[in-house]
Chains A and B, each alone.
Chain A
Amino acid sequence: MAGKMLPMVDDAPEQPQAGRTRRDFLLAGVRTGSVVAAGGLLTILAKAPAAAGTVWQIDPDKCTQCGLCATNCVLQPSAVKCVHTYAMCGYCKLCFGLLKDRRTGNTLSVENSRCPTDAIKRVFVEDPYYEMHIEENLCIGCGICVKGCTRFGNGSMYLQIRHDRCVNCNECGIARACPAGAISRVSVKTPYKLKARRA
């Protein structure tokens, strides 16, 4: 049986107070007006459209792979994904985006793998070269692979906000949380900040 809703304490009708002066009444009015005005302003701000013609994006040169992209996006899994510029990749079998610094051999076992969701697949190309494929539906944007690739490799793996997933919040949760200030609005005409092979 559904319980009957009881009025909240704050909803109880205000009782007339003895000794209330005209000044008290006016001050209460000003306070109430301020609260209403502030509420109205917040409502307007909340309903304002996203900055026209812009979307959020990560600057890979500023990103520190802190891991907050995985947890602070309103979407779960995050709209942030690892992307891979193949022209920069060394095609190593011993890929540090894939494998931990400390390993037991170089096999692709769970204890040797960096990725927490097994989203990176090593595909043989020709001896001795291998290509790393990112399975985007598994990637949670934690940046652990990016950290390894940036430190020891060529930095060909990096994080980007995927606009087929991002809902372009007015106030981006990961931009607010980013300790490096790496996330900013960019023109929708150039929605990605892709790395390129060194000139």
Chain B
Amino acid sequence: MSRISRRALLAATAVAGLAGCREHPPRVAVTDADEADPPIDPALVKYRSAGVIETGMAAPSAITVAANDAILVAGDAEVRSYEPDGKQQGSIAVAPRPTCLAVGPDGAVYVAAADRVRVYGSGGALRSEWPSLGDRAELTGISVGRDDVLLADAGGRRILRCDHAGRELATLCGKGGGYPGLLLPSAYLSVRHFEGGFCVNNPGLHRIERHAADGKLTASFGAEGLEVDRFCGCCNPTDFALLPGGSVVTVEKGLVRIKEYSREGRLLCVVATPSEYVDGTAGVALAVDGRGRVLALDPKKKVVCIYERKA
């Protein structure tokens, strides 16, 4: 075989081999610019850290604030209470793996785990255990008002209104009448009483919604995008809290940004930037206290980060 024909054979083999490697030639799909997090103007950050509470729990999952500004953190199989400065006051034993909690006007602690709610006295005694809401129920939010209790059921994609004894009064936020329903690619749904009605996050639609007491949508804000005034990813915000003046504090996953919006939905400022959270943090739970401080429970670091407005 001549030198030329051998080279030709080798070249042909190489070409055939390469062609057989991949049905599609790969292209450069994602560049650094595609993945770079959008910068946040430092002037927008109007909160500063006012302390950190080490929970010492293996899996802290929920946070709320009592009337006296005591901070309550649920996780593992207990609820721990802390003074506003972070000093631990005490703890009560609850059913394992609590997912959300709230404090009633009488000081009772409502703790939800999976498909049911248990109510504990402030001393820790179990007052009542509500019936199961069904196999599909996955309670991720609870708000206790003077007249009723609102439950956010991420499994059933609904908000339930119950009385204080656990009797179901209404199912709200279902799809229909032009309302698309609650879109929950992942189980992050919160509810808060607000001015006679209530607010929910609708993460699949990237918005915060305000509903009348009967469940009718009255207002909403939010849009998808990486820009700081939008909500990133496929499903955000994952939680929110309402400041005393009515403005809304939100938190996202993927790109952990805590931000404050006006009640009309205009971005007011940034509370915390992604640099303060480690990669893979998801499910940060929010609460606010009477002084307007923002409390963020970081389940990855297992701490409560306290933010206060800069002077």
A residues lining the B interface (CB < 8 Å)? 1-3, 76-77, 90-92, 94-96, 100-102, 110, 113-119, 128, 137-138, 140, 142, 144, 150-154, 198
Contact = CB atoms under 8 A, between A and B. Distances in A.
A120 to B, nearest CB: 11
B15 to A, nearest CB: 14
A195 to B, nearest CB: 14
A96 B233 contact: yes
Most central of B35, B183, B233, B234 by chain A CB within 10 Å: B234
A28 B30 CA distance: 57
B43 interface: no
Interface in B170-215: 180, 183-187, 204
B226 A101 contact: yes
B26 A101 contact: no
B22 A101 contact: no
A113 B29 contact: yes
Contacts of A140: 22, 26
Contact of B224 (A94, A115, A116): A94
B1 interface: yes
21 contacts: A2-B1, A76-B21, A76-B22, A90-B204, A90-B235, A92-B204, A92-B234, A101-B226, A102-B33, A110-B27, A114-B30, A116-B26, A116-B29, A117-B22, A118-B24, A128-B183, A142-B26, A151-B233, A152-B232, A152-B233, A153-B234
A3 B6 CA distance: 13
Contact of B34 (A1, A3, A91, A101): A101
Contacts of B24: 117-119, 138
Contacts of B218: none
A78 to B, nearest CB: 10
Contact of A77 (B2, B21, B235, B253): B21
B35 to A, nearest CB: 6
A116 B28 contact: yes
A114 B30 CA distance: 6
A91 B157 CA distance: 14
A159 B254 CA distance: 19
Contacts of A144: 29-30
A80 to B, nearest CB: 14
A101 B35 contact: yes
Given A77-B21, A77-B22, A140-B26, 20 more contacts: A3-B3, A90-B185, A90-B204, A90-B235, A94-B234, A96-B234, A96-B254, A100-B29, A113-B29, A116-B26, A116-B27, A117-B24, A128-B183, A137-B23, A138-B22, A140-B22, A142-B26, A152-B234, A153-B235, A154-B185
B99 to A, nearest CB: 11
Please list the 6 inter-chain residue pairs (A to B) with the smallest Cβ-Cβ separation, ordered nearest first: A90-B185, A152-B233, A116-B29, A152-B254, A116-B26, A117-B24
A3 B255 CA distance: 65
Nearest to B27: A116
A149 to B, nearest CB: 9
Most central of A91, A102, A118, A142 by chain B CB within 10 Å: A102
Contacts of A91: 185
Interface in B245-278: 253-255
A92 B35 contact: no
Most central of A2, A76, A151 by chain B CB within 10 Å: A151
Contacts of A95: 234
Interface string B224-245: 1010000011110000000000
A134 to B, nearest CB: 14
A154 B187 CA distance: 10
A137 B186 CA distance: 29
Contacts of B30: 100, 114, 144
B271 to A, nearest CB: 20
Contacts of B26: 116-117, 140, 142
A128 B234 contact: no
Contact of A154 (B34, B186, B204, B224): B186
A117 B25 CA distance: 7
Contact of A114 (B23, B29, B232, B280): B29
Contacts of A94: 224, 234
Contact of A1 (B2, B22, B183, B280): B2
